Structure 1
Amino acid sequence: METYTNLRAGEKGAYLSIVAYIFLSTLKLIFGYVGDSQALRADGLNNLTDIVASIAVLIGLRISQRPPDDDHQYGHLRAETIASLVAAFVMIYVGIEVLLTAGKSMFSANHSQPDTLTIWVSLFSAVVMYAVYRYNLQLAEKIKSTAVKAAAYDNRSDALVSLATALGIIGAIIGFHSVDTITAFIVGVIILKTAYEILKEAIHLLTDGFDSDVLARVKEEAAQIAQVREVREVRGRQHGNLMLLDVTVAVNPNLSVRRSHEITEEIEQNIQIMHPNALAFVHIEPYDPKEVIICEDDYHF
């Protein structure tokens, strides 16, 4: 099934993020301590949590690939969204820690001057993470994965954080010693902002939130089908990277079962064309007989 093939493809993005974060966090923490930059150390700690978040995404993608069973008739695809939720909570924890550390440092009288090398480490990290972000974003759009998309957003925030860190270090080196600490504080805010965005989307999906525009387009498309008298209800929910749609339409009660079934198939096929990652369930109901205008074309035996 294409859905599970896409999930396996999504693992590449998770593995890439893990490798990049291990390398960069090690690099930043070493040079952050050697070069005496609090902002670079904060950025390194941020990347350590990103490793945990990326592992959570990877585990979620693995669990999502399990086939349906007696307890999970629709499969385990929502494990992917839960992985995004876990990643967000990990980021919130680290963001708060970075803010607390930066807050204490602001009231400290000891301000050191970071080494120039820490600037290049930050800029190099920003370039690497932006490249990882672009790869994961394209992959997420291709396979319709919320977990890989969350990972991509995290990659983007890390690239921005590394760039901000470089600017903060430059400020500290030229004499504005508090800039390094202020930058560390900004890093914490960016981490929390990214975590909030991921958390908001994950909760929206887990509580069966759905794009109303998609529902409106599906309803409009179903209404165009010949002999559909009324589209009574269109509901949708996201199940991992799979879109589940329930459509209820009313037709002439005098139609044959065969023709009614053909109508459901036509609606399902049109939805599949509009949204390849969608699975539609179409329910046929009789139109109010009092309002039925009997037409010769409505009869198929």
Structure 2
Amino acid sequence: MVKYVEKKWEAELGAWISIISYIILAISKLIVGSVAHSDGVKADGWNNFSDIIASVAILIGIKIAKKPRDHNHPYGHSRAENISSLVAAFMMMSIGIDVIIEGISSLFHSGAESAPEPLAAFVAIVSAFAMLAVYSFNARLAKRTNSQALAAAAKDHLSDALVSIGTVVGIAGAQVHLLWLDPLVAVLIGGMICKTAWGVFMETSHALTDGFDEHILTTYKHEIATVDGVKNVADIKARMLGNYVILEVTIHVDPHLTVVKSHEIADEVERLMKQHHNIAATHVHIEPERIP
């Protein structure tokens, strides 16, 4: 239990580092983007701002999900994390659409102003290196704590670094009189924000509607079928509660087995799923194999 709490604390530390980094970068980019006349840097700043919202929402969800079950929540509070992710997806999509609209407006604005100042490129380069550093830290932390949420956040950090590099390219193009390149990058960044929001929405909606990957279920079924004493896997289904898998399986066993022996087979199925796939709970229903 102590080790579990320590891992949770480490995962939350990684989330806090992400939030603080995003706050610093978002404020810097929004200010510098306005001063240096760079739509790309401003869009990148809004991208980081959307990351702040998403990270805070997920962090709150993780904290609520850690609460133990009570009389109103017999299965616990794990799905609070999914709900917070869904809220974050809607907020990210709204920001992404605003960035796209502003970028398109700048693209077709008559009499384009001067190219962005070099300060904008400097901020974008610093941001790229900062995000790569945070990505490296959280990727290692996610592996050590086995936190899927932190692993997903690390991947988002890597994409943010790539977005900042793209912003530098847009600013560089504007320096050689390709003034349309900077607002075009802003539109592309807005598109990336929307794409990320849509991915979060689809993944979260799938989990909240008890969707589960059928290929993974097939893997579970084949492994359970190899357990000594299991004659047949009659039915298997699973669902997600936060980051935890709840598995329900019906197996057929020899009808002449004692209750104790049947119970031992069920225990072995639970142990196998816990050891191989870290499944939090496996509910095994035993039925006698039909004799032809």
TM-score range, shorter chain: over 0.9
* C-alpha contact 2:112 2:179 (8 A) present in aligned 1: no
Tell me what 2:101 maps to. 100
Contact 1:84 1:147 in 2 (8 A): no
- Bigger shift: 127-136 or 97-106? 127-136
The aligned residue for residue 257 of structure 1 is 259
* Deviation for aligned residue 1:11: 1.2
2:189 to 178, 187, 190: 187
1:298 corresponds to: none
Cα separation, 2, equivalents of 1:154 and 1:268: 34
Q: CA deviation at 1:262?
A: 0.5
Could you tell me whether the CA contact under 8 Å between 1:18 and 1:55 is conserved in 2?
yes
Percent identity, aligned pairs only, is 43
Q: Say which is worse superposed, 129-138 or 100-109, in terms of deviation.
A: 129-138
Equivalent residues in 2 for 1:151-300, closer than 5 Å: 151-288=153-290, 290-291=291-292
SS in 2 for 1:228: coil
- 1: distance between equivalents of 2:138 and 2:83? 19
TM-score by length of 2: 0.92
Tell me if structure 2 keeps the 8 A contact 1:146–1:241.
Answer: yes
Size of the aligned set, in residue pairs, is 290
Q: Offset of 1:122 from its aligned partner?
A: 0.3
1:81·1:147 contact (CA, 8 Å) conserved in 2?
no
Q: Secondary structure at the match of 2:231?
A: strand
How many angstroms does 1:150 deviate by? Answer: 4.1
Q: Which runs of 5+ in 1 are unaligned?
A: 292-301
Shift of 1:9: 3.1
**2:247–2:279 contact (8 Å) kept in structure 1:** no
Displacement, 1:187?
A: 0.8
Structure-to-structure mapping, 1:101-180, within 5 angstroms: 101-108=102-109, 109-180=111-182
CA displacement, residues 252-272 of structure 1 (integer Å, 9 cap, x when unaligned) = 222111111111001111111
C-alpha separation between the residues in 2 aligned to 1:4 and 1:246? 27
1:58 corresponds in structure 2 to 59
Task: Please provide the CA RMSD for this pair.
Answer: 1.9
Q: Is the 8 A contact 2:82 2:242 kept in 1?
A: yes
Q: Indicate conservation of the 8 Å contact 1:84/1:202, yes or no.
A: yes
For residues 77-117 of structure 1, give each alpha carbon's deviation from its aligned partner in whole angstroms, at most 9, with x where no partner exists: 11122222222212111110001101111121232211112
User: Could you give the per-residue CA deviations for residues 116-169 of structure 1, whole angstroms, max 9, x where no partner exists?
Assistant: 121111011012112223333444455454543443343233222111111101
Give me the whole-angstrom Cα distance separating, in 2, the residues matched to 1:83 and 1:50: 13
Aligned twin of 1:72: 73
One-letter amino acid of the counterpart of residue 20, structure 1: S
- CA pair 283-142 structure 1, distance change in 2 beyond 3 A: farther
Question: In terms of Rg, which structure is larger?
Answer: 1
TM (norm. structure 1) is 0.90
CA contact (8 A) 2:273 2:279 kept: no
Q: 1:195 and 1:139, CA in 2 relative to 1: closer, same or farther beyond 3 A?
A: farther
**What SS class does the counterpart of residue 280 from structure 1 fall into?**
strand
Q: Deviations over 1:7-66 (max 9, x none)?
A: 443212220111001111121122112212111112112222221211101101110110
- Secondary structure, counterpart of 2:160 in structure 1: helix
Worse overlay, 132-141 or 231-240: 132-141
Aligned counterpart, 2:49: 48
Q: Is the 8 A contact 1:80 1:146 kept in 2?
A: no
Contact kept? 1:3, 1:241, Cα under 8 Å: no
Query: Do the aligned residues in 2 keep the contact of 1:219 with 1:231 (CA within 8 Å)?
Result: yes
